[in-house]
Structure 1
Amino acid sequence: MDIQKWDTSYEWKIVLLLTLGFGLVGLDRWIIAPLLPSIMKDLSLNYQDVGLIFGALGITWGIFSIFSGHLSDKIGHRKILLISLVIFSLASGFSGAAMGLTSLILIRALMGISEGAFCPTSFAATAVAAKPSRRGTLQGLQQSGFALFGLGLGPIIATQLMLFLPSWREVFWVVAIPGFVLVIFLFFILREPEQTQGGKLLITEKKETKQEKVNWSVILKTRNILLSMIGLFCTMSCVFVISAMVPLYLENYLKLNIQQMGFVVSAIGFGGFLGQFLVPAFSDWFGRRLSAVLSFLGSTIFIVLFANSAASISSLFILLFALSFFSLGLIALLSGPIAAESAPAGLVASSIGLVVGAGEIFGGGIAPVLSGLVAEHYGIQNIFYLSLVGTVVGMIVSLFIRETAPRKIGTLHKEKNESTETIQSHESA
C-alpha cells in the first residue's frame, strides 16, 4: 500500500468530527462537577454520595468499553458510534430531571454505558483514518477534545449558564443539544474500517503475528496492553479524583466562591487539552516509553505542589494546569497509540476497549468512590494521597513498556541494518 498517497481529506474530516464527539463526551460527563454544590443542596447529598455518582458512571463506562470495543471489531464502527452518541446526549439531558440520589446514579450509569461504547470505537476509528507517522498526534488531538470541552470550557459554561437559567436542571438540556447535531454529520461521513487505508494497513502490518483463533487471552498476553491497562488505572486515579473532588475542595476547604472555583477548575481542561495533544505528539518523535515515564514524573511533582498550595487563584490555576497536562496526556498516550500499535491483528478496538475499560473500572469507577469515603471521613484535603500513589506506581510500570512509535522503531531498524552491513563489510575485507 502506498502510504504517500494518503486520503487526507477523510483523515482530517473524521478526526475533526470525532474530536468534537469526544469533546461532547467530556462535556456531558463533567458538566455535573461545577454544578455539584447546587445539586448537593437540592438533593441533600454528601461527599460519599458524590463519589457513588461518579463511580457508577466510571464502572459502567469501563465494562462497556471492553465489550463494545470487541463488538465494533466484528460489526464495524458506524452503528456503535451513532447510537451511543444519541443515547449519551439523552442521558445528559435527563440528568437534569433527577429527583434524588438513586435516579441520578441510574441516569449517570446509563451515560457511562453509552460513552463507554463510544470511547474505544472512536479511538479505533481515528487510528484507521490516520497516517501511521502522525497516528499519535491525531489520536492525541481527538482525545484532547474531552479535556477542552469537558474540563476546560465545561466549568465556565456551567457557572455562566447558572446566571441566566432558572436552576442547574436546565443546564443539562442545553449541553445535550450539540450531540444530536453531530450525529447527522457522522452519519454521512464516517466509514467502516475496511473502507479506509489505515484499516487495511493495520491488518497488513500484523499479518506475521496473526493467530488462527483470536480471543481475550491473546490480548492479555500482549505485554504493552497489560502495562497500558495498569498505567491507565494509575493515571485515571489521579485525573478522576482531581476532576470530581477539586471543585468541592476549592469551594468548601479553600473557601473560593463559585466563579473563582469555575476559573481554577477550568485549568484541568485547558492543561489536559494541550497534554492530550502534545504528549502523544512528543511520543511520535521521542518514543512512547520516554513520554510515559516523563509524564508520570510530572504528574507526581505537580500533585504535591497543588495539594500544598495556598488559596491563590493564579497559583492554583497554574499548578492544576501543569498537573492536568501530564496526567490527561497519559490517558491519550496509553489508550491511543500504545494500545493501537500493540494490538493483535484485527483487534485494535478490542485492545483499546480493554485498556480503557480496565482504567475506567478502577481509576474512573472505584477511585472516585474511595475519594468520596476519604473526603467524608478524613477530610477532603486528604484526597490527593490516592492520586499520588497512582502516579508513583504508574511511573514504575511505564519503565517496562516496549517501544512502538513507528519513527523510533524505524530508526532502530535502520541503525541495526547499518551496523550489520558494517560488520559484514569488515568481515569481507
Structure 2
Amino acid sequence: MRLSYENKLLGILALSFGFVFFDRLALSFLFPFIATELQLDNAQLGMLASALALTWSLSGVGLGALSDRLQARKPMLLLAVLAFSLFSAASGLVGGFVSLLLFRALMGVAEGPVLPIAQSMLAEASTPARRGFNMGIVNGSAPGLLGAVIGPPLLIALATAYGWRTAFYLSCIPGLLIAWLIWRHVRERAPHVSSATLSVRHGLPARGMLQLLRHRNILLCVLIACSYITWFIILISFTPTFLVQVKGLTPARMGAVMSSLGLAWVVWGALVPAISDHIGRKPAMVVFSLIAACCPLVLLQVNDFSTLLLLVFLSYTGLGCFTLFMATIPAETVSPTVIATALGMIMGVGELVGGFVAPTAAGMAADRYGLPVVMWIAMAAALLPALLSLGLRETAPRRVASAATLCHGDTATR
C-alpha cells in the first residue's frame, strides 16, 4: 500500500529533526568521557551548550524567515541536514575546548532552521484533526526516540569500546541518508492541500516580527519558550554528570536513566499534543507543565534506582508541551505565509535565553554551590510556563469549533 504524502512527509521530517537531537545531545552523553581527556569543568559544559544554542537561535530566526520569503524550504532543509551531520562528526577532531566550542557553534547554525522549516511544511500538509499529533511526532517523539532513547546507550557503548571521537565520527552517517530522502521524496509544496485549511482562524498576515508579537498567543509562546527551554537544556545538559558525580551511578545506570527520560520524551511527545487535540491546547499546557516541574525533584530526592526510572518517566512530560507552544499554537494563530517566521522567532528567542544564557549561568552556579542547584533552577523554569499558559487563547480546531457552535446556539435561542 502506498503511503500518502502526509505520512511520507511525517516520516522523513521526524527522522530529520530526530537526528538533529541525536547530534545535539551527543555532547551531553559523551561529556564524562570528553571532560577526562580534555580537562573540562561544569562551566565549560554550560558554555558549550550555550554556544550551540546561541547560533541555533540566530540561525532559526534568520533562516526561518528567509525560507518564508524565498519559498525555498526543501533546498534549505537539505543543506541544513547535510551541514549539521558533518559538523557533528567534526567534533571528534578537536584538540581542546576552543576547537570543540567552534564546531558546536557551527553545528548550531546548521540545525537552527530545521524545526521551523519542517513544521511549516508539516502544518501545510497535515489534516487539521491530526495536526497536533503530527507535530508532536516531529517535535517530541522523534527527537526523544533518536536523541534520548537510542542515543545514550549507543553513544556510551561506542565511546566505551572505541573512544568518544569515533562516536562523533559515526554520528554523521544517518544524516547523510536522511538528506538523500529529503532530496528524493520531499516536495516544496504539499499536493492538493489548500493553505486556507491550515488553521481554524488566521491572523496577522503581516510579515514583521514585531507585528507578530502584537498577538497575545505569539508573545506568550515566546515567553514560555524562554522558560521551558531553560528547563530542558539544564536537565539534558547536566543530568548525566549529576547522576554520575552526585548520585554515584555507573555510566551504564546513568545511560539507563537518560534512556528512561528519552522513552518518556517519545511517549509524552506524541501523547500530549494528541490529548490537546481533544481537550484543548491551553489546559494541556497548564497540566503537563505542572507535572514537568516534578521531574527535577525526582532526580534530587529519589535514590532507589528502579523507582527513579519509573518516576522520571512519569514526570518528564514537558517535551510534549514543546510541540504546542513552539509549533501547533503558533501555526493555528498566524497566516500560513508566516508560519516559519513565527516558529523561528519563538524558537530563536527561547534558545537565546533558555539555551544560551541559562546553561552557562547554571554551570557557574553548579561550580559554586554544587550540582544539585541546577535541579532547583529547572523546577522553577517549568512552573512559570504553567502560569503563563493561563493567558493563552484556545486554538485547537475541535475546541474552537465547539465553542463557535455553542455561541451560535446561544444566539439562536435569544
> Per-residue deviation at 1:323?
3.0
Give 4+ residue runs of structure 1 displaced > 4 Å after superposition: none
Alignment match, 2:309: 317
Partner SS state of residue 347, structure 1: helix
Is the 1:289–1:403 contact (alpha carbons within 8 Å) kept by the matching residues of 2? yes
Partner SS state of residue 162, structure 1: helix
* C-alpha distance in structure 2 between counterparts of 1:152 and 1:196, whole Å: 36
* C-alpha distance in structure 1 between counterparts of 2:347 and 2:378, whole Å: 18
Unpaired segments of 5 or more residues in structure 1? 1-6, 424-429
* C-alpha distance in structure 2 between counterparts of 1:60 and 1:200, whole Å: 34
Is the 1:25–1:115 contact (alpha carbons within 8 Å) kept by the matching residues of 2? yes
The residue type paired with residue 253 of structure 1 is: V
* C-alpha distance in structure 1 between counterparts of 2:53 and 2:283, whole Å: 28
Is the 1:69–1:349 contact (alpha carbons within 8 Å) kept by the matching residues of 2? yes
Deviating more after overlay: 216-225 vs 42-51? 216-225
| Cα-to-partner distance string for 1:257-284 (whole Å, 9 max, x where unaligned) | 1111111111221111111111111110
| Cα-to-partner distance string for 1:94-118 (whole Å, 9 max, x where unaligned) | 0111111111111001111111011
Matched, 1:306 2:306: no
> Per-residue deviation at 1:35?
1.0
Q: 1:341 to 1:8 in 2, by over 3 A?
A: farther
Mapping for residues 254-333 of structure 1, pairs under 5 Å: 254-310=247-303, 312-324=304-316, 326-333=317-324
Alignment match, 1:142: 138
The residue type paired with residue 371 of structure 1 is: A
* C-alpha distance in structure 2 between counterparts of 1:62 and 1:198, whole Å: 30
> Per-residue deviation at 1:306?
2.7
Aligned residue among 380, 386, 396 for 1:395: 386
Matched, 1:41 2:33: no
Mapping for residues 25-424 of structure 1, pairs under 5 Å: 25-76=20-71, 77-143=73-139, 144-165=141-162, 167-193=163-189, 195=191, 197=193, 199=195, 201-202=197-198, 206=202, 209=203, 211=205, 213-310=206-303, 312-324=304-316, 326-423=317-414
Alignment match, 1:426: none
Partner SS state of residue 179, structure 1: helix
Deviating more after overlay: 91-100 vs 315-324? 315-324
| Cα-to-partner distance string for 1:28-82 (whole Å, 9 max, x where unaligned) | 0111212111100111101100000011011111111111111111122112100
Is the 1:35–1:158 contact (alpha carbons within 8 Å) kept by the matching residues of 2? yes
Unpaired segments of 5 or more residues in structure 2? none
Partner SS state of residue 402, structure 1: coil
The residue type paired with residue 238 of structure 1 is: W
| Cα-to-partner distance string for 1:7-33 (whole Å, 9 max, x where unaligned) | 971100000010011110010011121
> Per-residue deviation at 1:195?
4.8
Q: 1:293 to 1:204 in 2, by over 3 A?
A: closer
Partner SS state of residue 214, structure 1: coil
* C-alpha distance in structure 1 between counterparts of 2:336 and 2:84, whole Å: 30
> Per-residue deviation at 1:322?
2.5
* C-alpha distance in structure 2 between counterparts of 1:391 and 1:185, whole Å: 36
Alignment match, 1:18: 13
* C-alpha distance in structure 1 between counterparts of 2:5 and 2:46, whole Å: 41
* C-alpha distance in structure 2 between counterparts of 1:17 and 1:336, whole Å: 17
- What's the Cα RMSD here? 1.7
- TM-score normalised per structure 2: 0.95
Partner SS state of residue 255, structure 1: coil
> Per-residue deviation at 1:201?
3.2
Is the 1:127–1:198 contact (alpha carbons within 8 Å) kept by the matching residues of 2? no
Structure number with greater Rg is 1
* C-alpha distance in structure 1 between counterparts of 2:239 and 2:187, whole Å: 39
| Cα-to-partner distance string for 1:124-169 (whole Å, 9 max, x where unaligned) | 111111111110010001122111111121111111223432x100
Is the 1:284–1:405 contact (alpha carbons within 8 Å) kept by the matching residues of 2? yes
> Per-residue deviation at 1:320?
2.1
| Cα-to-partner distance string for 1:366-401 (whole Å, 9 max, x where unaligned) | 111111111111101111121122112111100000
Alignment match, 1:427: none
* C-alpha distance in structure 2 between counterparts of 1:146 and 1:168, whole Å: 21
Q: 1:198 to 1:385 in 2, by over 3 A?
A: farther
Is the 2:204–2:212 contact (alpha carbons within 8 Å) kept by the matching residues of 1? no
Q: 1:205 to 1:416 in 2, by over 3 A?
A: closer
Is the 2:331–2:339 contact (alpha carbons within 8 Å) kept by the matching residues of 1? yes
* C-alpha distance in structure 1 between counterparts of 2:336 and 2:81, whole Å: 27
Deviating more after overlay: 335-344 vs 285-294? 335-344
* C-alpha distance in structure 1 between counterparts of 2:396 and 2:118, whole Å: 20
- TM-score normalised per structure 1: 0.92
Partner SS state of residue 191, structure 1: coil
* C-alpha distance in structure 1 between counterparts of 2:334 and 2:147, whole Å: 28
* C-alpha distance in structure 2 between counterparts of 1:393 and 1:290, whole Å: 15
> Per-residue deviation at 1:193?
3.4
Deviating more after overlay: 367-376 vs 301-310? 301-310
Percent identical pairs in the alignment equals: 30
